[in-house]
Each structure stands twice: as C-alpha cells, then as structure tokens.
C-alpha cells in the first residue's frame, strides 16, 4: 500500500467522480483508476460502488476512510516533526475556521504566517463549529477557530476573544440614529437572520425567549455577508457579530441591551494530541494579532 493510493482514495471519496479527482490530483484518469484498483485488490474489498459514471463509497469504503485519513495525517505529522527540526522551512498546516472568523480574524494571521514561513503550505477550511470539532478528532485539522467552549469533551479549547452581537441597519432605517436598543423592542423590527442551524442564531433565539419577545423574521440566509447586503438594500435589520459589523462602515450598528449578547471565540485542539511547530506558531500569531483587541 502506497501513500499516493491513499490520497487517490480520499480524493475520490470526496468528489465521487474519477474525472474530477484526476484533475484535483494532476494525474490521468487511467493512473487514478489503476491506483484505486490496486488498493482494492490489496485490501480484498470493493471501496466504491459504481453508479453510472459516478462512484459512491461502499460500506467497506466508508469504514476505511477514517483510517486512511488518520494514516495520512500521521505521515504529515511526521513531516511536520522534521520541519520542526528544519525551522519550519517546509510542511503543511490545516486550519478550520468558523465563517465569520474566517472573514475577519484569520486573514491577517495567515498573511503573517505565510510571510514568516513561506515553505509551509497553509490550508484554511471554511467550516461550522460542529465539523471543525469532527475534523479535529479525525485528524484532518491541526487546529480550529470556533466557539469557546467546545461541545465535546475530547476537544480542548483556549479562550481567544469575546465579541458582542449587534443590530445592524441601513442608513435610511428608522433605527439608524439609535445607539442602543433593548432586545424586547425588537418585536417591532423586521429581521433577516442566520438559520437555526447556526449557533449564533440559537443564541439570539434564546435571548429573545428570555425576555418573552417574538420577532418577525422575514429572511434567513446562510452567510453574514449576505445579511449585511440585505440591510443595505431595504427595510430589514440583522443581528451580526461586532467584527463583521465593523467591516461594513456604510451600515449603522446598534448595541443590543437587556440582555447584551456576547459570544466567545477560542482556539480548538484535539485533547491529548501533539501540536506541531506550525500549529503552535500560527496560534501564537493569532493571539498576538491586533484584531483580538
């Protein structure tokens, strides 16, 4: 069994299509098919069910996927250990970041890290909190940036910063002149919010329930950037993280009170796992970033 065969298998498991995986891996489709066939012969199982022109993981393939992921991660960890000895002149770092942190907190740190260690390839994945924890546990991520504390006991969290949630409105909105507003008063404000699958939305809902307020939610959208865009072009208001609001100076931010909504960001690690030098240095740069202030 060769490392490249594991890479072939994992990419196909992601795309479920040989042509796409061949493009991703910069190999010919025949090379990819041959490598997969050799792997299946060595394991004595069928890893994929053939469905027309596509592929779908078989039960055996789904079981093997987790082991293959960990195996490649261990190889990469070995490479990073050698990179530690070489002063981070090579290697790979994989970070998972919650969407709003990815757009506000992470870019400056990635730029600083890449400048300091140009030989280390950085991959940053746009993930929600749940998948970040899952991929840390599976060994796919070196560290995560999400909410603190984590929901799983085998994830260790390090507090990073706190940020408020603010009401955001367009310049012509009736609340554009307000500096603050009580949560209870939102009953009269049409809103655009994230869906309930987001932890931030659940925090908002819980705060509204705590003050006995029912609100009019007219729009749900999957990204904070989209919500800010809606506020620019109509009568709707939204509730977004403070750092996201600060990146939209054309909109007006109103402080929410009674209660004030605060979410806690943190660096997430797999508990008990070794932390390679690249992950440690990235975390140090993240802590020192001016945006944490």
Average pLDDT over residues 75-91: 69
| DSSP secondary structure string for all residues of 200-239 | HHHHHHHHHHHTT----EEEE-S-HHHHHHHHHTSS-EEE
Confidence of residue 293 (pLDDT cuts 50, 70, 90): very low
pLDDT digits (tens, 9 = 90+) for 227-260: 999 999 889 999 999 989 998 999 999 999 999 9
What pLDDT, on the 0 to 100 scale, is given for residue 79? Answer: 67
Say if pTM beats, i.e. exceeds, 0.75.
no
Give the tokens for residue 51.
Answer: 């469905």
Q: Locate the domains of the chain by residue range.
A: 1-75, 162-263
In CATH, 162-263 is 3.40.190.290: yes
Average pLDDT over residues 88-95: 85
CATH number of this structure's domain 1-75, picked from the four choices 3.30.930.10, 3.40.50.1260, 3.30.300.30, 1.10.10.10: 1.10.10.10
Average pLDDT over residues 130-141: 88
């Amino acid at each position: 069994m060769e490392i490249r065969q594991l890479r072939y298998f994992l990419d196909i498991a992601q795309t479920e299509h040989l042509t796409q995986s061949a493009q991703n891996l910069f190999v010919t489709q025949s090379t990819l098919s041959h490598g997969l066939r050799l792997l299946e012969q060595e394991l004595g199982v069928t890893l994929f069910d053939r469905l027309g022109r596509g592929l779908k993981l078989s039960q055996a393939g789904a079981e093997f996927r987790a082991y293959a992921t960990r195996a490649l991660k261990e190889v990469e960890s070995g490479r990073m250990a050698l990179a530690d000895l070489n002063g981070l002149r090579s290697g790979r770092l994989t970070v998972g970041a919650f969407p709003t942190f990815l757009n506000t907190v992470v870019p400056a740190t990635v730029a600083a890290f890449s400048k300091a260690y140009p030989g280390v390839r950085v991959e940053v994945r746009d993930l929600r909190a749940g998948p970040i924890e899952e991929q840390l546990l599976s060994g796919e991520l070196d560290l995560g940036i999400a909410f603190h504390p984590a929901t799983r006991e085998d994830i260790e969290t390090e507090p990073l910063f706190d940020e408020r949630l603010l009401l955001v409105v367009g310049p012509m909105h009736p609340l554009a002149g307000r500096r603050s507003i009580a949560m209870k008063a939102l009953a009269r404000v049409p809103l655009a919010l994230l869906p309930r699958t987001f932890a931030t939305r659940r925090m908002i809902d819980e705060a509204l329930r705590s003050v006995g307020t029912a609100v009019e939610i007219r729009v749900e959208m999957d990204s904070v950037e989209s919500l800010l865009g809606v506020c620019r072009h109509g009568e709707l208001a939204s509730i977004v993280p403070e750092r996201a609001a600060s990146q939209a100076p054309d909109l007006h931010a109103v402080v929410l009170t009674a209660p004030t909504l605060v979410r806690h960001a943190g660096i997430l690690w797999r508990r008990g796992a070794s932390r390679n030098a690249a992950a440690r240095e990235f975390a140090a740069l993240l802590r020192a970033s001016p945006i944490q202030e």
